[in-house]
Amino acid sequence: MIVTFYSYKGGVGRSFCLANVAVQLARWGNRVLCVDFDLDAPGLHEYFKPYISSLHDGGLVEVITGDADWTDVVEPVSVPDADNLSLLTAGAMNSSYPDRAQALSWPELFADHDLGWRFEKIRAEWEEEFDYVLIDSRTGITDIGGICTAQLPDILVLCAAPNRQNLAGTLDVARRAAEARDRLPYDRAGLLYLPVVSRFDSKEEYERARAWRTTMAEQFAPLYASWLPADQGDDQAELGLVERTTVPYLPYWSFGEEIAVVDERSGSPDTVSYYMDNIAALLAHRLADADVLVSSRDTYVSAARERGQRESGQGFRYDVLVHGTSERAVELHNDLVELGVRAVRGRLAEVSMVWHFVIVDPPARASAGIQEILDQVQLDPGRLVMVVGEVSKQLSSAHPISGSAVDVVSAVPAENMGQHWGDVLVSAARVLQSQSDLVGAHALAVRAVEAMQTPIRASLLRGELAKDLGLLREAETVLDRVLNTLPSDSVEAQRAHRLLGEIHRDRGDIGSAIDHFDAVLEAGGSDREHALVHRELARMELRTGDTNLALRHLEEARMKAAGDLLLEAQLAFELGTLLVDSGDFEAAGRQLVDAVERNSLPVADQVTALRQLSYLESVAGRRLGATDYLRRAYDEAVQPEDKADIVIELARLQGDLDGIQEVTTALQALDPDNLVAMARLLEALGNLHLDVGRPEQAREAFSDAYDVFRRLDDRAGQVRALIGLTMALRFIEITLAQRSWSEAWRLLTRLRGPEADLLRRQLDAIEPK
């Protein structure tokens, strides 16, 4: 961005203002070039002389005459804490300079030497090389004024003293610049104006100072109109902006050419540096959101400082700030840190150092702390505000999310978050995978691959999840790419081979599957990968019916998995299940107990293992043990349908009236919207009543079950309920039993498959006559 500092008359501190603003912008991480275009009375170099080792023998005059390229005469300026500050002087400061400057014939240069086109070329080069180019233009209305005020700048900073002659002249120059801009043969956006009042002494004659500020606000309103946000609920926005950009008169800085921001702290409104920071921040924000400068000055300036540091590669210090004091806020912060997020909680002083924000359980009334966050985000649309809990009016524009850390990570755009964010996305995907949300996990894994320069971990996870989702082509492509990137004996390559083996197995290409599995076993190295391969080989042997070989593979897998608690538990569960099917109940019990007691199985597997142990106990005649296992399974089950099935097993185990009471209690506690569980329990209740010779109660239960199955459009369930109803009605009214039996046959004619065949045989056996 190119900014011209102009003043209608001299002595208003134009060069002083430019030098201070340049230093601050450079300190904030920006690349800044200062250009002395006051060719008749150059002096900008005097401010920077203490920080320049030696001046080049040339400057802007030599660039204009064609005797030098601007890149050869730019001076590096070594101001403390400002690394990228440069100066293009007016020219070689020697005895011949006045003659060379006065010899410039501007009409001839424009007409015969294409100076306008040359400045366009230089302008483009400056914009490529620097973030900010600050031009010190000469005073008054001159031949070169059009270059500085119309052709080159994006923003025209108009420095003026508080008197009518200065104000009138300044406004006239703004009008002339706009007209000249419109006549340019180049494509250029509209010129923006930033008036700056300097050498303003408000310590004496307070009432007169206030009156002058009001006058300046009224006079400058047309210049503010194109960029000062309108309708902010404050009819004195212009006055507030004048107060923020009026540089006070301090006698100390009226002697010599010194840079105030080098020696003076800027925290107090009694300092010149305070206002130089304000002007620099306005330029850093491209004059955007100036209302925040008026309402929350420190926020506006700190955001400008942090933006410059980010654009220079320093980035944000934190990824997410969690704002809130509740226990939920503390837990969310801890969970984010566990995922690898650079999270911080409750430090409002550091909001400018944070990318994104999560407001947890916000108060109903507007909060100053939350407003500071909203002001920061307003200054940088790339940042996100999320809210957990009830959304207040103040946060109406925020993004509502649940209270989970994964939800936060999912909502945050991965762009510009840094290389570590790929690892964060992988960790979040793993959490969703453990919760069986494979679709969500896959989406995060895809984003992780895109966010990482070397996405091996993310690609392996994406391939695994794509496989589990049945996206076999995608999984194979991703995993083949991993294999082509890594040494064949690496742990990652072994994992890729194993996953590719599972893909080929699922496709029925057993030969290719075995090739990939053998590649893992032959590579040595990872016992975990070997264990997983042996498990897959066991599953393949089960498909062919070779139970003994499957058992040997699972036993080998258990040995290789020693030390991996989760995998050991999973393998113990699979081995125990296989042993149950093989009839070796004693060995099966040992494996299943081992799996259950580790408490690391997924919930569904844990519940299944407990139900299998209950079965083994009941086969052994240990009814109390069987009941205990079922009650543990009920407590750990999550899905209501699973709980219903466990209640039914408990009822069958107890029998008689105890079983009926068990099912009745479960029905009373059931959510009435859970029709699937309700239908199962009612059907079981009917069968229990039949078992104890209570046909009337069985009739009622089967009738209710039939109604629920019909609401579910479950035809097989309707037939089973009608079979039970027929059996109950045979003891009550044979005609009603025949009607029920006939309706069951009507529904059965629309069913196909093994279950239909079984129901057909049951209907044949109970035909009422």
Give percent of the chain with pLDDT exceeding 90: 35
> Which pLDDT value is given to residue 187?
78
| CATH fit for domain 318-411, picks 3.40.50.300, 3.40.50.280, 2.30.110.10, 3.30.360.30 | 3.40.50.280
Q: What's CA 494's distance to the chain center, in Å?
A: 32
The most distant pair of C-alpha atoms in the chain lies apart, rounded to whole Å, by 130
Q: Which residues of 396-407 are buried (b: 16+ CB within 10 A; e: fewer)?
A: eebeebebbbbb
d(C-alpha 686, C-alpha 351), whole Å? 64
Which tens digit of pLDDT belongs to each residue from 664-717?
A: 998 998 889 999 999 999 999 999 999 889 999 999 999 999 999 999 999 999
d(C-alpha 27, C-alpha 21), whole Å? 10
- Reported as a pLDDT band with limits 50, 70 and 90, residue 350 is low
Instruction: Give the residue with greater pLDDT, 399 vs 124.
Output: 124
Q: What is the DSSP letter of 396?
A: T
pLDDT for residue 249 is more than 80 = no
> Which pLDDT value is given to residue 233?
46
d(C-alpha 216, C-alpha 643), whole Å? 76
> Which pLDDT value is given to residue 371?
81
Q: CATH topology of 2-37+117-284 equal to that of 318-411? A: yes
Mean pLDDT value across the chain: 86
pLDDT for residue 376 is more than 50 = yes
> Which pLDDT value is given to residue 200?
66
pLDDT for residue 203 is more than 60 = no
Which tens digit of pLDDT belongs to each residue from 209-219?
A: 678 788 888 88
Give the residue-averaged pLDDT of 289-298: 82
- Reported as a pLDDT band with limits 50, 70 and 90, residue 349 is very low
pLDDT for residue 310 is more than 70 = no
Which tens digit of pLDDT belongs to each residue from 735-762?
A: 999 999 999 999 988 888 888 889 999 9
Instruction: Give the residue with greater pLDDT, 397 vs 132.
Output: 132
Which amino acid is present at 579?
L
DSSP H or E segment with residue 252: none
pLDDT for residue 445 is more than 90 = yes
Give the residue-averaged pLDDT of 616-639: 92
> Which pLDDT value is given to residue 297?
83
291, two tokens: 């209302």
pLDDT for residue 286 is more than 60 = yes
The CATH superfamily assigned to 2-37+117-284 is P-loop containing nucleotide triphosphate hydrolases (3.40.50.300)
Where do the structural domains in the chain lie, given as residue ranges? 2-37+117-284, 318-411
> Which pLDDT value is given to residue 372?
77
> Which pLDDT value is given to residue 720?
93
d(C-alpha 700, C-alpha 475), whole Å? 52
d(C-alpha 323, C-alpha 302), whole Å? 19
What are the helix (H) ranges across 247-325? 260-263, 272-284, 290-295, 297-311
Give the residue-averaged pLDDT of 86-100: 88
pLDDT for residue 407 is more than 90 = yes
> Which pLDDT value is given to residue 525?
65
pLDDT for residue 144 is more than 70 = no
Which tens digit of pLDDT belongs to each residue from 474-522?
A: 999 999 999 888 887 788 888 898 899 989 988 888 888 888 888 888 8
pLDDT for residue 85 is more than 90 = yes
- Reported as a pLDDT band with limits 50, 70 and 90, residue 632 is very high
> Which pLDDT value is given to residue 311?
57
Give the residue-averaged pLDDT of 579-589: 89
Residue 334: count other Cβ atoms within 10 Å of its Cβ.
13
754, two tokens: 């093994």
**Count, residues in the chain:** 769
Q: Where are the beta strands (DSSP E) in 130-217?
A: 132-137, 155-160, 192-200
562: left (phi over 0), alpha (psi -120 to 50) or beta: beta
> Which pLDDT value is given to residue 460?
93
Residues 449, 455: contact at Cβ < 8 Å? yes
Q: What is the DSSP letter of 46?
A: H
Residues 383, 356: contact at Cβ < 8 Å? yes
Which amino acid is present at 166?
N
pLDDT for residue 48 is more than 70 = yes
> Which pLDDT value is given to residue 312?
53
- Reported as a pLDDT band with limits 50, 70 and 90, residue 583 is confident
What is the pairing mode between strands 354-360 and 318-323?
A: parallel
- Reported as a pLDDT band with limits 50, 70 and 90, residue 206 is low
> Which pLDDT value is given to residue 193?
94
d(C-alpha 479, C-alpha 496), whole Å? 6
Q: Which of 570, 487, 572, 561 is nearest to 529 (CA)?
A: 561
- Number of helices (H), then strands (E), belonging to the chain: the values are 36, 13
Strand partners, 159: 7, 196
What is the pairing mode between strands 399-400 and 385-388?
A: parallel
3-state secondary structure 51-67: HCCCCCCCCHHHHHHCC
